[in-house]
Amino acid sequence: MTTEKDTFEPLIINFCCYWCSYTGADLAGTSRIQYPPNTRIIRVQCTGMIHPNLIIEALTSGADGVLVCGCHPGDCHYLEGNLRAKARAEAIELMLQDFGIEPERFRLEWVSASEAQRFAQVVKEMVEQVKKVGPSPYRVTV
């Protein structure tokens, strides 16, 4: 028997910084590296511009997961925006507890412009991870 969990296809919002991870995602494309179609990339200048509220809002509006991808430490186009994002991620994880959202639904990863394989891997892992926790309790079925 198939349960809802088996057929569940999560919808994951993927914020990518334009300078590293967005380019890495493009490279996955030009290299034809296949990954699951569950993410929707939103381009930002830097992971440091993503307000924690935006992530919380996404998760409480029904996103099954939020994946944030930025430059590796030291590679940030804006010097240290990614480090700010890292610091905020810790705060976001605490806030998730308050909302009763599983920590697996949020992930911050560093993906450089040349790491197409890694980008695909990160997406795969995130999709698997979110599949395990199941649909968002906030999800409205349309």
Partner 1 sequence: MIKLTINDEEVEVAEGTSLLNSLEKLGLKVPTLCYHKALSPYGACRLCVVEVHVPNRAPTLQASCSYPALNGITVFTETDRVKRARRITAELLLARCSTSTEIQRIAAEHGVFAPRIKMKMDDCVYCGLCVRMCEERMGRSAIGFTGRGPRKRLEPPFSKHNPMCWTCGACNFICPVGKEVRWLVSSTIPKEIPNAYNMGLNNRPAIAIYYQQAIPNKPSIDQDVCVRLKYNGCGICEAVCEAKAIDYTQHDKTVELKVGAVILAPGYETFDPTMKPDFGYGRFPNVVTAIEFERILSPSGPYAGHVLRPSDFRKPQRIAFLQCVGSRDYERDYCSSVCCMYATKEAIIAKEHAGADLQCDIFFMDIRAFSKGFELYFESAKKQGIRYIRCRVPVIREVPESKNLVIRYLNEGDETVESEYDLVVLSVGMQPPKSVQKVAETFGVHLNRFGFCETSAFNPVETDRAGIFVAGPFTEPKDIPETVAQASGAAAKVLSLLSDVRGSLITPTEYPPERDVRGEEPRVGVFVCHCGTNIAGVVNVPSVVEYARTLPHVVYAENNLYTCSNDSLERIKEKIKEHGLNRVVVASCTPRTHEGLFRSSVQAAGLNPYYFEMANIRDQCSWVHMHEPEKATAKSRDLVRMAVAKVKLNDPLYPQQLEVCRDALVIGGGLAGMTAALALADQGFGVHLVEKEATLGGYLKGTRYLLTGENPQEALRNLTTAVMSHRNIRVHTNAELTEVKGSLGNFQSKVTVAGNGDGVEIRHGIVVVATGAQTYTPAEHLYGQDDRVLLHRELEEQLASGQFKAKCVAFIQCVGSRNAERPYCSRTCCAESIKLALKIREKHPETQVYVLYREMRTYGFREAFYTKARQLGVAFVRYADDKPPSIIGQNGTLLVTVRDETLGETIQIPVDRVILAAATVPNEVNKELAQLLKVPLGEDKFFLEAHRKLRPIDFATDGIFLCGNAHSPLDVEEVISQALGAAARAATILSREKIDLEPTISHVVTENCDGCAYCVDPCPFKAITLVEYEAGGEIKKRVEINEAICKGCGTCMATCPKKAVFVWHFKPEQLQAEVKAALGLPA
Instruction: Compute the CA torsion angle 135, 49, 123, 111 (nearest 10 deg).
Output: -160
Q: Which of residues 22-81 bind partner 1 (CB under 8 A)?
A: 22-23, 25-37, 40-46, 48-54, 57-58, 61-63, 77-81
Q: Which is nearer to partner 1, 54 or 95 (CB)?
A: 54
Q: How far is the CB of 5 from partner 1 (least distance, A)?
A: 18
Alpha helices in the chain (DSSP H): 4-7, 21-30, 52-60, 81-99, 116-133
Quick one: which of 115, 127, 129, 130 contacts partner 1 (CB under 8 A)? Answer: 115
Q: Measured from the CB of residue 41, what is the shortest distance to partner 1 in angstroms?
A: 6
Task: Answer yes or no whether residue 134 interacts with partner 1 by CB under 8 A.
Answer: no
The least CB distance from residue 130 to partner 1, in Å, is 14
Residue 142 sits in the site that holds partner 1 (CB under 8 A)? yes
Angle between helices 81-99 and 52-60 (to 10 degrees): 40
In order of 33, 86, 126, 136, the CA distances from 55 in angstroms are: 27, 13, 16, 14
Q: Which residues lie below 8 Å from residue 4, measured CB to CB, with a gap of 6+?
A: 134, 135
Least CB distance to partner 1 at residue 78 (A): 3
Does 110 engage in binding with partner 1 (CB under 8 A)? no
